[in-house]
Structure 1
Amino acid sequence: MDKTAYEPDPQTPPPKGERLRVARIGKPHGIRGEVTVQLFTDEPTERLAPGAVLLRDPGDPSENSELSSKTSGANTELGTLTVATQRWNKKICLLGFAEVPDRNAAEELRGSVLFIDVEDQDDDEEGWYSHELEGFRCVSGQEAELGTVEALLTGSAQDILVVKTPNGEEVMVPFVEDIVPEVDPGQRLITLTPPAGLFP
């Protein structure tokens, strides 16, 4: 294999506050530099769209390796990759990158972990990311314990909070103001006013 086929971008992105892990690169697909990716985001169409600039950590090339955390520290030096193409082969996401012209270059990326800078998003944009709410306690207006946030699922109509109750059940809570009137990041606490029957 030609080890010089791919050279990471020598320019390191400036330090940012927090980086969100979005994907891990797997095997090459075909001869034109496409790769399969394991997704860690529920918004791949948007976050991995053509033109997106991703931060690349070489990671562990082992197929069975796992990243221990969902975010990377601000001081980690990463290269960059620019998404050129995105398509789906059944349920597998395939990406092509502007810097990766062929299969040999794609092979050099195997095991790399891809991040986005959370602070790259518009500071005025309303909304939350799933990783920001995971682990928040959920209580009713009477401060009764309802559970803990497992995830935030984004949708075209509305977002959904996945809340794990103390008895282990998962409850899908519409993330609308009438039901989720208050989110307190400092206390890692969400106040809910759920309709009757939503929680067991």
Structure 2
Amino acid sequence: MELVVARIGRAHGIKGEVTVEVRTDEPELRLSPGAVLKTEPATVGPLTIETGRVHSGRLLLRFAGVKDRTGAESLRNTLLIAEVDPSELPEEDDEYYDHQLMDLDVVLADGTEIGRITEISHLPSQDLFIVERPDGSEVMIPFVEEIVAEIDLEEQRCVITPPPGLIDEREAIVVSTRDEEAADAGEAVDAADSTESTDAADSGDRA
């Protein structure tokens, strides 16, 4: 099975290094020196990783045969693809490969259908599930323990417990607007009461 494990970014320095956007939870395994990777577009590769290092929080790679900045820039936006055994599993029980999570049905704890996972975005702070809803719209679900309650690969489903507003932001906006209107109404009543009290006090003074 072929999996996209990184996307090449801009050149770094003048000796052929490039920054990469990592798209795997195991960069030390998939993007280590000596790894031979297919590419998209295919005409660019295959590429063999010659060196790798972390600089200012970013992974820098240099490929065999790429010796200068010009060569590095020519690789920009190329996808790096690794061949992975479909039966291979991560070492930790609570870790998953992207291909295991793709197309899982996403449901609430009560069984309500939300959609299916169509993409997984690996961000520096956390991973995100891109979920396509039945109406064709998309919603982003952070892959964190507080929200993703269960991954059931046997049943091919992902059970989530989202906070209010995560699934339907429009609903959250309506609720928020109602709250604001209620607060405004309350303030208006308070202001009216205050005016009436003041008027009563003034009337008493005049008496």
Compute the TM-score of the two structures, normalised by the length of structure 2.
Answer: 0.51
Any residues of structure 2 matched to 1:35-184 within 5 Å, and which?
41-42=22-23, 46=27, 51-57=32-38, 59-61=42-44, 80-84=48-52, 95-97=61-63, 99-100=64-65, 102=67, 114-116=80-82, 118=84, 123-124=91-92, 126-155=94-123, 157-184=125-152
- The alignment partner of 1:81 has SS state of strand
Any unmatched runs of 5+ in structure 2?
A: 169-207
Once the two structures are overlaid, the 10-residue window that deviates more, 175-184 or 18-27, is 18-27
Q: Which residue type is aligned with residue 171 of structure 1?
A: V
Please state if 1:196 is matched with 2:164. yes
Q: Which residue type is aligned with residue 54 of structure 1?
A: A
Please state if 1:187 is matched with 2:155. yes
User: Could you say what the CA RMSD is over the residues aligned between the two structures, in angstroms?
Assistant: 4.6
Residues 168/33 of structure 1: CA separation in 2 closer, same or farther (3 Å cut): same
Please state if 1:20 is matched with 2:3. yes
State the structure with bigger RCO (CA 8 A, min sep 6), 1 or 2: 1
- 2:49, 2:62 within 8 Å by CA — same for their partners in 1? no
Superposed structure 1 runs of 4+ greater than 4 Å apart: 23-37, 43-51, 84-88, 117-122
Decide which structure has greater helix share. Answer: 2
State the 1:30 CA deviation.
8.9
Any unmatched runs of 5+ in structure 1?
A: 1-17, 63-77
Q: Which has the larger radius of gyration?
A: 2
Cα distance in 2 between the residues matched to 1:185 and 1:33: 41
- 2:132, 2:139 within 8 Å by CA — same for their partners in 1? yes
Compute the TM-score of the two structures, normalised by the length of structure 1.
Answer: 0.53
Total equivalences in the alignment:
161
State the 1:29 CA deviation.
9.2
Residues 80/125 of structure 1: CA separation in 2 closer, same or farther (3 Å cut): farther
Aligned residues: percent identity? Answer: 31
